[in-house]
Amino acid sequence: EAAVTRLHGATAPYPRAVAAIALRDFHEADQCLAALDGRMEPHLLTSLRGDRFYMESRYDEALMLFRQASATSSDLTTRMNIAICLLHAERGATDDNIKEAFDLLTDIIANTEDALARARAQAVLGTAWMRNPVGDRDENVRHAIEAFSQGLQPLRHEYSHWWAETNFQLGQAWLELPTGDRAENFQRGMLCFQAALEVWTPDAQPHRWATVQNNLGHAWERYPRGNRARNLEHAIQSFTHALKVHTQDEFPSQWATLQNNLGNAWIQFPGGDLRQNIERGIACHQSALEVWSRQDRRSDWAATQTNLGNAWALLPADGEERARNLRRSISCYKSALDVRTRAATPIAWAATLNNLGSALLLLPSTPRGENIQEAIECFNRALEVRSREAFPLDWAKTQANLGHAWTRRPVGDRADNLSEAIAFYECALEIIDQHTHPHQYQHVAAKLEEARGEYDVLTRA
């Protein structure tokens, strides 16, 4: 940081350009780069322009420039930059981009004698495994964890920023590992985040510090062990810390993301006044929606609409107020589904359909049970994506929801409806285990016992 400051104080355009790019002062960087035309080797200037776009997260433009530079001088740094940009590029086929990145990185790891360069390549290879859209997800994440871990040790003293970044990415990988002891995975992930915070302090790297705080908040929110209220207190505290840096004026997108995350934590928080907690969550989501609407961030807007739908469905109320809140919830989910299509975002589409079905189930049923039938249709559509093989826990949750729906179905033969419900509950309990998901197991097992009891009475009569 001190070196960047010294460069920024220089008079020559090259050191000023390097400093401006590092500081993300892109207006200054563009002026300095323009002044360097004809004053340095073309491939070096092209590579420097690539750095400028890379730092602004404009990866497609950066990739084009790094490729141009590599045609003249394919040095190690340029090849590494090409690999990184390929992992983030929006143009081209994702599978092809990631395969090219894999090839570049494995070549660097195999052929360079520079231990630090190999370590950096291992860290980027970890990112490639995390982004790999093909193959078994569990295997991909485990490959990523191995690559990140191999990249850590050589970076500790020489490249503390890269060491922190690799710890951050390793923490993310542990959180996303779909198999193994979930609580232990999360503990490992949170230890990695804490390690990153040894380098990324609020004074030295406020932006990165806030990003880690956000991820710590996510980890605490999802942590499956310990006191739930205390875990969510930690999550709320982490999100609130991050908001001290990612303010609405300076970082509107990050601020909106944090508002969304904070809203989710408040909605789940079991301590204090439940209604007040959920109202806080609703206010957070509504604040985030204002930003997403202004920025035309349709994907983020849809995600927050879904979360707002969850909040309205959970808000305690009675009678007509309860029905009104559920209608608001249903409206939010249906708005989200205008964006979350099966073709574009199948996993999010299925999750939102599952939530929509749950809200429809909670509405007061009509004599013909139109809302129940619509809920059943939502759950069945969600299962088109939520297969047992690909998403076993989500599949089981939707199976349980179908059980709830069939027990509430007011039309048709009651015994037949209960028989359907029992079958769905039994399927759900093949996956929902009393050791790994005790609360869900107890709930579904109790519903199954109720359905069996009523079915036995009806069939014995």
* Residues spanned by the domain of 270: 201-322
Residue 153 is classified by DSSP as G
How deeply is 27 buried, as exposed, middle or buried, from its count of CB atoms within 10 A (0-12, 13-18, 19+)? Answer: exposed
The total of other beta-carbon atoms located within 10 Å of residue 433's CB is 13
Q: CATH no. for residue 294? A: 1.25.40.10
* pLDDT tens-digit readout, 26-83: 888 899 999 998 888 898 999 999 999 998 889 999 999 999 999 887 788 899 999 9
| Residue 125 counted as domain residue | no
- Does some domain include residue 400? no
| CB-CB contact of 129 with 143 (8 Å) | yes
The interaxial angle of helices 76-88 and 59-72, nearest 10 deg, is: 150
Task: Give me the percent of the chain exceeding a pLDDT of 90.
Answer: 74
Kindly report the average pLDDT of the chain as a whole number.
92
Residue 172 in any domain: the answer is no
- State percent of the chain over pLDDT 70: 97
Assess if residue 164 is contained within a domain: no
Instruction: Tell me if 272 is assigned to some domain.
Output: yes
Looking at residue 112, the DSSP 8-state letter turns out to be: -
Q: Which of 220, 273, 267, 222 is nearest to 242 (CA)?
A: 220
Give a yes or no: residue 277 inside a domain: yes
| Inside any domain, residue 408 | no
Q: Give pLDDT, residue 6.
A: 53
For the chain, how many structural domains are there in total? 1
Element (H, E) at 360: helix 346-362
For the chain, give the number of residues: 461
Q: Are residues 145 and 170 in contact, defined by beta-carbon separation less than 8 angstroms?
A: yes
For the cut 70, the answer to whether the pLDDT of residue 106 exceeds it is: yes
Residue 461 has pLDDT above 90, yes or no: no
**pTM reported for the whole predicted model:** 0.79
Closest by CA to 262, choosing from 223, 298, 311, is: 311
| CB 304, CB 294: distance < 8 Å | no
Segment 206-247, tens digit of pLDDT? 999 999 999 999 999 999 899 999 999 999 999 999 999 999
Q: Could you read off the pLDDT of 135-155 as tens digits, one per residue? A: 888 999 999 999 999 988 777
- On whether residue 159 sits in a domain, the answer given is no
Whole-angstrom Cα distance, residue 342 to residue 296?
21
